[in-house]
Amino acid sequence: MLTAVTSPTLRFASHDLVVAATTNAEDPLLAEFFAAYDRAFILPSEKEEWDGFVECLKLNHGDAYERLASTWGPFREWVLLARSAVSPSAVIGGANLICFPLRTDGASLVLSMHLNYLFIDPSQRGKGYFRKLIGICQDVVGRSFVPQPTNDVLPVLTFLEQNDPLKLTPEDYQRDSSHGGIDQVDRIRIWRRVGARIIDFPYVQPALSDSQEPDAGLMLSVVGVEGDTVDACWLQHHLERFFAISVMKGGDPRTKETSGNQLTLTANACRAGIPIPLLDPLPWLRSLGSAPPYELRPESLTGGLRTDLRKFNSARKRG
């Protein structure tokens, strides 16, 4: 069984970037990360607060880690910044992620990552850093656990939340698109190009803090799964750990309604051996374009992907 690395920091070079990552809430890197992160995200429902990051990183060490690891197994939550190797003061982008090994009955060991936040600094967008930053995150996951199999690289499953463009209000759609410099639909298209597919699952992000509400406007996607389905046991075990640590800051997700209902669904599917379908958004995105007609749209992107869209497309043409 893998164990988590004890060093709280990582420093390494990747292509033309220099990476600094930490699991330590007292590392000055956290403040640098938060400043860059705070510029990158705007919608209140999707943003983690400063205290939330501090709480999560504290769970990496000491008694809190031992308690959680005894229930959920080894894990590491990181914040990281990537800077230019030529101009070290220039922040290219950053990420916050949690990772842990997963093994289900009859399946090989994999490393699972939940990419909580990934961003490119506005001044660095359009320069080809997106794929590099994803690769850096996967590299961090690979460096998070020891011992690693000799001459063997464990596969990494990358889970992430994406805005459902059809659940956003027109105001939030435009606000977030303008702030990020990229249309909501184009974001889904870009993630699909690196392999992301949407999990056909009624995902709701539990509230990130007592002052926030659950976010039902998100879709859960995954990169790195072969075939057209994801193992329900993998999804169950992934969500348990993500909810318990990154979202609930050490709480028990099985005791809360929003998280508990989703874990019950995945646990039932796991016991029954029923995999969860993966949805490819590209055919639908080609028909939708980049400006959704709100009076004609389905209620959600996942719902639209399940249905025959010929009638919807015909209505759009008549409109």
CB atoms within 10 A of CB 91: 21
| Average pLDDT over every residue of 181-208 | 90
Provide the token pair at 38. Answer: 């705070």
Residue 56: its H or E element: helix 50-58
Is residue 240 helix, strand or coil?
helix
As a whole number of angstroms, the distance between CA 299 and CA 251 comes to 32
Residue 298 DSSP label: -
The token duo for 22 is: 């930490």
Of 75-89, 118-132, 133-147, 172-186, least confident by mean pLDDT is 172-186
pLDDT tens-digit map of 19-67: 999 999 999 999 999 999 998 887 776 788 999 999 999 999 999 999 9
Strand pairing of 156-163 and 110-120? parallel
Among the residue ranges 24-33, 209-218, 261-270, 285-294, the one predicted with the least confidence is 285-294
For residues 92 and 289, the answer to whether their CB atoms sit within 8 Å is no
Which structure tokens are listed for 270? 């796991």
pTM of this structure? 0.89
- Is the pLDDT assigned to residue 282 strictly greater than 70? yes
Q: Which residues face 158 on adjacent strands?
A: 113, 223
Extract the tokens encoding 131.
């794929």
Domain extent at residue 117:
3-318
Looking up residue 130, the CATH number of its domain turns out to be 3.40.630.30
Q: Return the closest-CA partner of residue 250 out of 100, 67, 78.
A: 67
Burial, 144: exposed, middle or buried (Cβ in 10 Å; 0-12, 13-18, 19+)? buried
* Number of domain units in the chain: 1
**Alpha-carbon torsion 226, 233, 48, 184, what sign?**
positive
Query: pLDDT by residue (tens digit) across 213-245?
Result: 888 889 999 999 999 999 999 999 999 999 999
pLDDT digits (tens, 9 = 90+) for 121-166: 988 888 889 999 999 999 999 999 986 655 567 889 999 999 888 8
Residue 128 falls in which region: left (phi positive, over 0), alpha (psi -120 to 50) or beta = left
Burial of 135: CB neighbours in 10 Å, binned 0-12, 13-18, 19+: middle
Give the H/E segment covering residue 162. strand 156-163
Rounded CA gap, 34 and 31, in Å?
A: 5
Cβ-Cβ contacts under 8 Å for 45 (sequence gap 6 or more)? 212, 213, 215, 217
The answer on pLDDT for 107 being more than 70 is no
Residues facing residue 146 across a β-bridge: 3
Burial class (CB in 10 A: 0-12, 13-18, 19+), 18: middle
